[in-house]
Structure 1
Amino acid sequence: MRTAKFVTPALLFSVVTASSIAMVAGSASASDAAAGNVYYVAPNGNDSAAGTQAAPWASIARAQAVAKAGDTVYFRGGRYAYTRANSACSSQTARVDAITLNKSGSSGNLIRYWAHPGEKPVFDFSRMRDNCRIKGFNVTGSWIHLKGLEVTGVPQNNNRNAESWGIWVSGNNNIFEQINTHRHMGTGLFINGGGGNLVLNSDSHDNYDRRSNDKPGENADGFGSHYTPAGRPANVFRGCRAWWNSDDGFDLISTYSPVIIENSWAWRNGYVPGTTTPSGNGAGFKVGGFGREYDARAVKHTVRFSVAFLNKAAGFYSNHHPVANDYFNNTGYGNHPSFDMRGINSSGASVGRGNLRNNIAYTGTLLANMNGTTASHNSWNLGVPLSDAQFRSVSTSGWDAPRQADGSLPVLPHLRLAADSALIDKGTNVGLPFSGSAPDLGAFENDGR
């Protein structure tokens, strides 16, 4: 029997604080839900109605005009279709919004835009014909919580732009929970300038920018976090999945505040969705970088307990980042390579950058640009021969299975350690909870599930 062992409170505080910022807000908002007003929106509603369950509104714009901090707006199931933006295109390269959320809640009193329990509201932008760059949702407000919404189909209607976006976020301290964003001509969820946001238990997939002026497929990531100024709280991605996006799964290029990615999966990125036709860059997790330029303002990002497999390029990629990111307890399988730690120094030369502990790299190409990194207690450091027998399953199918009732990732046997695996207890303490005498290697601590 394995006994639980936990790190000291001081160490645990140091690694968890940044990722808990938005979680605290989420807990407070849930407890306050009954205190605020409750409104309803439905596809067959009427914006002249009362906004009650019996007489719902028709649009999120009408709901935002009334909702205030602490209120909850429930969206009934069905399709909310958009054909034009809420402003005109001033040029073919201008940016317009279908939905603008610019009213803020407050700490502990978020404004909640939630799917009605057990129902699926779908925001469909595929019929929009605005001849410029389009944002499906433009979230400029702060302390907002979106939950259970499906967002799909934002187009590009000319070839003069790099991409459009499913959800664009420039506000702070927002929560995006159980969002399914897909089939956009650009990134599914794109944080640009906002800090302290939590993207929780959300999926972004099948995004492909076939009209990009760079080249088809070059700019459609699953999730992005970019351009946040220094000093803001970390943006956090927890329990998220990104697959079959034509560019990268997760992209953190050009941001000056930290990003934490944890318990997340990225696979088959870098292809035309649903095919093996190569398209964009194809990293699972692209962790930083400033366009191959050295920038002294760079900060450390963290990826932990995450899985990358069958991506066209690297599973975990430092992308010329100027400082060493932390890569703890991740699993790379069948990537090219699984861990590419190409960084950059102040002279502009390529160097290895990264702190790697307790990771697994198996099949495909394993490693690149490791000179200069700090790496120990990884599968390639330990001299333990890897084989399929070390895992309960090495299947690459079924990772898009339905989530659990609370929105958390499905529990699969894939790439979890077998009960007798030589990789159990072979890690080192990096300040995160673990069971047994030492952490296991890889993304999944062997808990018997």
Structure 2
Amino acid sequence: MIVSVLAAVTSPAVAHDARHHHAHLKAAGVYYVAPGGSDSAAGTEQSPWGSFAHAQDVVQPGDTVYFRGGTYAYTHANSTCASQTARVDAVTLNKSGTAGSPIRYWAYPGEKPVFDFSGMTDDCRIKGFDVTGSWIHLKSLEVTGTPQNNTLNHESWGIWNSGSNNTFEQLDVHHIMGPGVFLQDGGGNLVLNTDSHDNYDANSSSGAGTNADGFGAHIPANKPGNVFRGCRAWNDSDDGFDLINARSSVTIESSQAWSSGYVPGTSTRAGDGNGFKAGGYGGGYVDYGVKHTVRQSVAFNNGAAGFYANHHTVANDFFNDTGYNNHPDFNMLGVDSSGGAVGMGTLRNDIAYGGTLTSHMTGTDSAHNTWDLGTPLSDDQFQSVSTTGWDAPRKADGSLPSLPYLRPAKAGGLIDQGTDVGLSYKGIAPDLGAFEVS
């Protein structure tokens, strides 16, 4: 019996099947790209490739490409402008990974690869990165300079995404002549610990500064699961975060927006100037509105509202948010089925301090917020009310720096004053505002 079993195990048919199986098992590849590299090289650490396009041609699901530090400068798109209002890409990512094997395009540890599109001369709309594939992970890349080379268009873009289940992590996107990170389509995308700042569309056809958001998500219907987490938007000439025309729910959490609505670095007003513009469909009523969630987030010193419903048609959730020195901090202007202006939103555990506190609150579901509790506020109730230093370096893992700004002081009457909305908290009840303190 033993002999016959051994014979069966080592039979030619079984051996062939085993070889056939192992032939289909491929170890994940690791490749390298560097400024000055060559696409005819081996793609190893010692002999790196030179271009993103070649790396994408080679990689397969599960592979990782490390980009060495330095500047990757682009002077033209990978296709020609069919017209002055056409769209072209500098980098097109159209090869997808899989659920268990995403394709990773990461910075080499400890180094900063900079993708500089400021030298592009294409006379139409430009996308720095056009991500159409799915299960792609970009990490620790710097993206800058996407230009507008005529005045016929609203904006260009730093990163445009239409794929699904992509991750954009620890990116530094800045000085884009349009939105920094824009989710146009796709579901299940995560924008994590990413900064988008100093974006200004000087040549926009609708007026200088009117379209350069930090982050945007204008997702069509049936594309759920898009999340912005741990992100910062500052000095963007339009809005920090903009969800107008999104027909699938979007979640923004543990994020920050400040100094929106100004020409970057000045006090000159430009675009709308909201920190978090949570929806809306062009000002009128539609029957396909969806609920968005903005939670544990901070907005301060924005030219207009810190948190804005923007004529939304359903009540969004605003939980544990802090508005400081906005105009106003919370503006819940919604629109009902008859087209009338109404308050629209569910608000819990929020802080409004400084500037103008609230507007359009009649009709909202508002409880356990500072304005509901009648809590008198002063600077002494916070560890600090400084509005400088918020752009401090992130922690090693990319998470937000631990700063005292707008955190409740221990004796300030803001701790344990909230109500349970399903978020983790310490003590007998949640604290008010974006920060839970010990």
TM interval, short-chain normalised: over 0.9
Counterpart amino acid of residue 140 in structure 2: G
Q: Structure 2: which amino acid aligns with 1:167?
A: I
Equivalent of residue 135 in structure 2, options 121, 133, 143: 143
Q: Give the distance between the partners of 2:400 and 2:27, measured in 1 at CA.
A: 30
Matching residue within 429, 432, 436 for 2:427: 436
Give 1:397's aligned residue: 388
Give the whole-Å Cα distance in 2 for the aligned partners of 1:250 and 1:309. 13
Q: How many residues align?
A: 413
Name which of 64, 67, 71 aligns with 2:56: 64
The equivalent residue for 1:258 is 249
> Is the Cα–Cα contact under 8 Å of residues 192 and 228 in structure 2 kept in the other structure?
yes
The residue type paired with residue 149 of structure 2 is N
TM-score, reference length from structure 1: 0.91
Rounded to whole Å, the distance in 2 between the matches of 1:233 and 1:144 is: 17
User: In 1, distance between residues paired with 2:413 and 2:100?
Assistant: 46
Residue 179 in structure 1 maps to residue 152 in structure 2 = no
Match of 1:310 in 2: 301
Residue 247 (1) aligns with residue 250 (2): no
Choose from 130, 134, 151 the match for 1:159.
151
Alignment-mate amino acid for residue 325 of structure 2: G
Match of 2:90 among 89, 95, 98: 98
- Aligned counterpart, 2:34: 42
| TM-aligned CA deviation for residue 193 of structure 1 | 1.3
The one-letter amino acid of 1:371's match is: T
User: 229, 232, 236: which is aligned to 2:227?
Assistant: 236
- How far apart are residue 233 of structure 1 and its match? 2.2
Structure 1: distance between partners of 2:27 and 2:354: 53
**Aligned residue identity for 1:200:** L
Distance 1:84 1:268 in 2: 32
- The structural deviation recorded for 1:36 is 1.0
Deviation of the 1:35 alpha carbon: 4.9
Q: Match for 1:258: what amino acid?
A: S
Instruction: Map Cα deviations across residues 368-393 of structure 1 (whole Å, 9 max, x no partner).
Output: 00011000000111122100010000
Please show how residues 4-43 of structure 1 align to structure 2 within 5 Å. 35-43=27-35
Q: Distance in 2 between matches of 1:402 and 1:431?
A: 30
Q: 1:346 maps to what in 2?
A: 337
Matched, 1:371 2:353: no
Residue number in structure 2 paired with 1:414: 405
Alignment of 1:203-352 (within 5 A): 203-226=195-218, 228-352=219-343
- For 2:67, give the aligned amino acid: F
**Deviations 1:152-185 (Å, cap 9, x if unpaired)?**
0000000000000000000000000000000011
Unaligned runs of 5+ in 1: 1-33
Who is 1:132 aligned against?
124
Shift of 1:195: 1.3
One-letter identity of the residue aligned with 1:298: G
Determine helix, strand or coil for the equivalent of 1:187. coil
Give SS of 2:289's match: coil
Match for residue 180 of structure 2?
Answer: 188
SS of the residue corresponding to residue 435 of structure 1 reads coil
Opposite residue 80 of structure 2, the aligned amino acid is A
Deviations 1:340-393 (A, max 9, x none): 000011111111100000000001000000011000000111122100010000
Instruction: Please tell me whether the aligned partners of residues 185 and 223 of structure 2 are also in contact (alpha carbons under 8 angstroms).
Output: no
**How far apart, in 2, do the equivalents of 1:100 and 1:320 lie?**
35
Aligned-residue offset at 1:433: 1.1
Deviation at 1:232, TM superposition (A): 2.0
> Larger deviation: 137-146 or 429-438?
429-438
Q: What secondary structure is seen at the aligned counterpart in 1 of 2:54?
A: helix
Separation in structure 2 between the aligned mates of residue 343 and residue 442 of structure 1, nearest angstrom? 23
> Shift of residue 194 of structure 1?
1.6
1:436 is aligned with what amino acid?
G
Offset at 1:203?
Answer: 0.1
Counterpart of 2:393, as a letter, is P
* Distance in 2 (alpha carbons) for counterparts of 1:108 and 1:231: 23
- What is the SS of the residue equivalent to 2:326? coil
Q: Which of the two has higher C-alpha Rg? A: 2
The equivalent position to 2:75 in structure 1, one of 68, 83, 89, is 83
Aligned to 2:102: 110
SS of corresponding position for 1:100: strand
Residue 362 of structure 1 pairs with residue 353 of structure 2: yes
Superposition deviation, residue 431 in structure 1:
1.2
The higher relative CO (CA closer than 8 Å, separation ≥ 6) is in 1
SS in 2 for 1:279: coil
Instruction: Give the deviation of 1:432 after TM superposition.
Output: 1.2
The aligned counterpart of 1:15 is: none
The aligned residue for residue 27 of structure 1 is: none
Deviations 1:25-76 (A, max 9, x none): xxxxxxxxx9511000000100111101011000110000011100000000
